[in-house]
Amino acid sequence: MAFFSGNIYSKSMLVDTQLNVILPQDGRRYEGAGSPKTLILLHGLSDNASTWYRKTSIERYAEHYDLTVVMPEVQRSWFQDMVHGHKMYTYITEELPKIIDSLFKSSVKREDMMVAGISMGGYGAIRCAFGRPDRFGYCGALSGAYDLKSLLKMSSETASVLEGLHKDIPAIFGEGAEIPEEVGIPSILKEAKRNGMMPKLYMMCGTEDFLYPSTIDIRNYCMDLGLDMTYEEVTGFHEWDIWDDAIKKMLKVFLGEGRVDWLDS
């Protein structure tokens, strides 16, 4: 596998931005035919583009499936086209797939495109995949921060990983603006269902996670809509130990066993 960490220029954001990429390259263990499938991994609120490869074994998992993994920088944007900031939703759903196609020659066909994330990135994965179901065939939401309104209230009451959220929201949606209903997960899912194109969804959360109650609400909503969904929960908090295991499970759900004999090849 090859690993690249660098910067690209984003036309939608009008700035250079960090991008980390894992690519099938040397074939020492396994290299499939044709263009590799693509996984875009989204970071959480207090993370950045480096967090996934620093805190998980994602490169080993990518090698197992001959998979390209792209880890972009989205800052604290909640994957929105911000009123006072960058067009992050446009970047992830429109510009980044074109960059992946032109620079890395990985497949950006819908049936080969996955997007997944943790916490804020779990929200972002559903926001992007179900907002653009013509673009993404698969979505992974790990301990997703789905209910922005309740999280905003929570951030003003307790010191936590949500610290500073009350300052982010005006930059994203405008001073004094309410969080729009159309960026809420129920509205996004309902619209995708109405349009008749739904990505496959893998959702998980730790039972001790502070986001577990809202995860159950969204899980139940997905079940009511009849989504093609795999849901799992494990004993655990809002932590990388369970997310590392979850991304491995997600890939197995979406892609099967992969190269079963890869360790012996």
Mean pLDDT within 105-127:
97
Mean pLDDT within 6-15:
96
pLDDT tens, 136-153? 999 999 999 999 988 888
Residue ranges per domain, the chain? Answer: 2-264
Q: Is the pLDDT of residue 261 over 60?
A: no
Phi, psi of 252 (to 5 degrees): -65, -40
Q: So what's the pLDDT on residue 51?
A: 97
How far is Cα 87 from Cα 71, in angstroms, rounded to an integer? 17
How far is Cα 72 from Cα 89, in angstroms, rounded to an integer? 12
Architecture of the domain defined by 2-264 = 3-Layer(aba) Sandwich (3.40)
**Residue with more model confidence, 73 or 26:** 73
How far is Cα 20 from Cα 10, in angstroms, rounded to an integer? 14
On whether the pTM is more than 0.75, the answer is yes
| Residue 93 contacts residue 128 (beta carbons within 8 Å) | yes
**CB within 8 Å of 240: residues ≥ 6 apart:** 55, 56
Q: CA-CA-CA-CA torsion for 165, 166, 170, 175, nearest 10 degrees?
A: 180
pLDDT tens, 60-86? 999 999 999 999 999 999 999 999 999
**Residue with more model confidence, 264 or 252:** 252
